[in-house]
Amino acid sequence: MKKFRSAHGNVDIVSVDTCVKIKVQGGFNQEGIIRYGEIVLSVVPVQTRWILVNFVGSDTGLTPDAVGELLNQYQRFIKFNCVAICENVDLAFGAIVKQQVLSKLNIPTLVSQDETEIAAFLAANSNQA
Protein backbone atom coordinates (compact mmCIF):
# COMPACT_ATOMS: atom_id res chain seq x y z
CA MET A 1 0.00 0.00 0.00
CA LYS A 2 1.40 3.38 -0.99
CA LYS A 3 0.96 6.17 1.56
CA PHE A 4 0.95 9.86 0.81
CA ARG A 5 0.97 12.26 3.76
CA SER A 6 0.69 16.01 3.73
CA ALA A 7 -0.66 18.90 5.73
CA HIS A 8 -3.66 18.80 3.44
CA GLY A 9 -5.01 15.31 4.17
CA ASN A 10 -3.72 11.78 3.90
CA VAL A 11 -4.21 9.44 0.95
CA ASP A 12 -3.43 5.70 1.01
CA ILE A 13 -3.76 3.60 -2.13
CA VAL A 14 -5.29 0.30 -1.05
CA SER A 15 -5.50 -1.49 -4.40
CA VAL A 16 -5.39 -0.78 -8.07
CA ASP A 17 -6.99 -2.74 -10.86
CA THR A 18 -10.16 -1.80 -12.64
CA CYS A 19 -11.35 -0.85 -9.14
CA VAL A 20 -9.12 1.83 -7.62
CA LYS A 21 -9.53 1.81 -3.83
CA ILE A 22 -8.29 4.80 -1.88
CA LYS A 23 -8.33 5.58 1.86
CA VAL A 24 -8.55 9.28 2.67
CA GLN A 25 -8.50 10.98 6.04
CA GLY A 26 -7.77 14.31 7.60
CA GLY A 27 -8.61 17.82 6.54
CA PHE A 28 -8.41 18.66 2.84
CA ASN A 29 -8.13 22.12 1.35
CA GLN A 30 -8.01 22.91 -2.37
CA GLU A 31 -4.30 22.13 -2.60
CA GLY A 32 -4.84 18.80 -0.84
CA ILE A 33 -7.60 17.82 -3.29
CA ILE A 34 -5.38 18.73 -6.25
CA ARG A 35 -2.68 16.47 -4.77
CA TYR A 36 -5.29 13.72 -4.20
CA GLY A 37 -6.23 13.95 -7.90
CA GLU A 38 -2.58 13.69 -8.94
CA ILE A 39 -2.11 10.62 -6.74
CA VAL A 40 -5.20 8.87 -8.10
CA LEU A 41 -4.30 9.56 -11.72
CA SER A 42 -0.74 8.35 -11.12
CA VAL A 43 -2.01 4.84 -10.39
CA VAL A 44 -5.06 4.35 -12.61
CA PRO A 45 -4.85 1.83 -15.43
CA VAL A 46 -3.87 3.57 -18.67
CA GLN A 47 -6.57 3.49 -21.36
CA THR A 48 -8.71 1.20 -19.20
CA ARG A 49 -12.08 1.96 -17.68
CA TRP A 50 -12.03 1.97 -13.89
CA ILE A 51 -14.19 2.53 -10.81
CA LEU A 52 -13.11 4.74 -7.90
CA VAL A 53 -13.92 3.69 -4.34
CA ASN A 54 -13.02 6.14 -1.57
CA PHE A 55 -12.92 4.88 2.01
CA VAL A 56 -13.34 8.14 3.89
CA GLY A 57 -12.09 8.35 7.49
CA SER A 58 -14.38 9.72 10.18
CA ASP A 59 -11.99 12.63 10.74
CA THR A 60 -12.08 13.73 7.09
CA GLY A 61 -13.24 17.21 6.21
CA LEU A 62 -13.26 19.58 3.25
CA THR A 63 -12.77 23.33 3.20
CA PRO A 64 -15.24 25.23 0.98
CA ASP A 65 -12.64 25.60 -1.79
CA ALA A 66 -11.89 21.86 -1.58
CA VAL A 67 -15.51 20.97 -2.38
CA GLY A 68 -15.36 22.77 -5.73
CA GLU A 69 -11.96 21.28 -6.45
CA LEU A 70 -13.25 17.78 -5.69
CA LEU A 71 -15.87 18.26 -8.42
CA ASN A 72 -13.11 19.40 -10.81
CA GLN A 73 -10.99 16.34 -9.98
CA TYR A 74 -13.90 13.93 -10.41
CA GLN A 75 -14.71 15.49 -13.80
CA ARG A 76 -11.04 15.02 -14.67
CA PHE A 77 -11.20 11.37 -13.58
CA ILE A 78 -14.13 10.85 -15.96
CA LYS A 79 -11.96 12.13 -18.82
CA PHE A 80 -9.42 9.48 -17.77
CA ASN A 81 -12.00 6.66 -18.07
CA CYS A 82 -13.52 6.59 -14.57
CA VAL A 83 -16.97 5.03 -15.05
CA ALA A 84 -18.36 5.08 -11.48
CA ILE A 85 -17.56 6.57 -8.06
CA CYS A 86 -18.40 5.10 -4.66
CA GLU A 87 -17.91 7.01 -1.40
CA ASN A 88 -17.75 4.73 1.64
CA VAL A 89 -18.45 7.47 4.17
CA ASP A 90 -20.77 8.36 7.03
CA LEU A 91 -24.06 9.81 5.87
CA ALA A 92 -23.55 13.33 7.27
CA PHE A 93 -20.32 13.94 5.35
CA GLY A 94 -21.62 11.88 2.44
CA ALA A 95 -24.71 14.08 2.12
CA ILE A 96 -22.51 17.11 1.48
CA VAL A 97 -20.40 15.30 -1.10
CA LYS A 98 -23.49 13.82 -2.77
CA GLN A 99 -25.33 17.14 -2.98
CA GLN A 100 -22.44 19.41 -3.94
CA VAL A 101 -20.27 17.06 -6.02
CA LEU A 102 -21.65 13.67 -7.03
CA SER A 103 -25.05 14.98 -8.14
CA LYS A 104 -23.26 17.04 -10.81
CA LEU A 105 -21.56 14.05 -12.45
CA ASN A 106 -22.91 12.05 -15.37
CA ILE A 107 -21.73 8.64 -14.15
CA PRO A 108 -23.16 6.24 -11.54
CA THR A 109 -22.32 7.27 -7.96
CA LEU A 110 -23.03 5.88 -4.51
CA VAL A 111 -22.64 7.16 -0.95
CA SER A 112 -22.93 4.33 1.56
CA GLN A 113 -21.26 2.47 4.41
CA ASP A 114 -23.30 -0.67 3.76
CA GLU A 115 -20.92 -3.33 2.42
CA THR A 116 -23.75 -5.23 0.70
CA GLU A 117 -24.92 -2.09 -1.08
CA ILE A 118 -21.35 -1.22 -2.09
CA ALA A 119 -20.74 -4.75 -3.41
CA ALA A 120 -23.96 -4.57 -5.45
CA PHE A 121 -22.96 -1.16 -6.84
CA LEU A 122 -19.54 -2.45 -7.85
CA ALA A 123 -21.02 -5.57 -9.44
CA ALA A 124 -23.59 -3.51 -11.35
CA ASN A 125 -20.92 -1.18 -12.72
CA SER A 126 -18.03 -3.61 -13.20
CA ASN A 127 -19.22 -4.46 -16.71
CA GLN A 128 -18.44 -0.85 -17.65
CA ALA A 129 -14.92 -1.07 -16.23
How does pLDDT run across 9-33, given as a tens digit for each residue? 788 887 778 999 999 999 999 999 9
Specify the CATH number for the domain of residue 75. Answer: 3.30.750.24
User: What pLDDT was estimated at residue 1?
Assistant: 53
DSSP 47-95: TS-EEEEEEE-TT-EE-HHHHHHHHHHHHHHHHTTEEEEEEE--HHHHH
The dihedral over CA atoms of 102, 106, 108, 114, expressed in degrees to the nearest 10, equals 10
The model's pTM is 0.89
Domain that holds residue 9: 2-125
Structurally, how many domains does the chain consist of? 1
- Above 90 in pLDDT, residue 99? yes
